[in-house]
Structure 1
């Protein structure tokens, strides 16, 4: 499966929006970059679906533009006026050439999903490899209203419980992509989250 971060060249704050090419061409999150439609078109003429990890602004600001440009389906956990498929914990989703399990992972966002496959995880903001706060395993921020460190910790544990052996590709909502021992990265993130220390000094 070929995966491209189509917001990699963004000059404004956005999530990583990943275009997965394969049997089913899917964009995981739409991001907040003005040129995301053009970036997708550089790689493909057709987009089957957009799948959302969650609906924070940096992940969905350009969603309408993408849906309008490609007439794609929209799959999400929480309600959205343009949602064509409601996703629940345990649902199966085809992305690129892989089949993924949707894992409900609240804490950073109530509607957060991670997508776990046999070789790949799209982790959204629940866990990332590096984000400016930590390298080699960090976790989504939980200092904003409606967020919960305790729920995020449980979500990290849930991912580890349901992560197959051999997952070596992690595409997170922020920071760089990671290829290697994904379980080790998530375990490091969990250990840091369990310390209950502020992620950022001003938190």
Structure 2
């Protein structure tokens, strides 16, 4: 997705001329899934921004034996692309957990397992930007301009994109730049 070794792709708007296909705000399971599915697409350029320093799904709610309500096939990618590197079965295989999971005879993931799986996927993706607090979104012509700062350093960043993807989280928030779709959502 976003090649950070490319000198034209930086965290400052002034330093690059490119316009991304999309900027996604918030990295929860939905946007993490989108990142997993879009990562191998060479003709799609996007970035995912999150204010937190790392992925952590429902911290404080990962009780020892609490399980998900959906079976493992409802992971981030398998139903859309069963061959994806980011499938839960591939995660298990890479971490020598596949046989233990299979002989357990319970195909509902534990919540803590799901969090570990998501954290692994987040480490594998090149398009995620943690520690990026979005503070302003403007819709200028047909381009979205997304600006903010990095909480850890105070460094400013800006991205330009044709589309905006919002991971609304548990308390939905639509920026003013999304006024045109407010009644549709």
TM-score (norm 2): 0.30
Question: Highest relative contact order (Cα 8 Å, sep 6+), 1 or 2?
Answer: 2
TM-score (norm 1): 0.28
Question: Which protein is richer in helix relative to its size?
Answer: 2
**Larger radius of gyration between Structure 1 and Structure 2:** 2
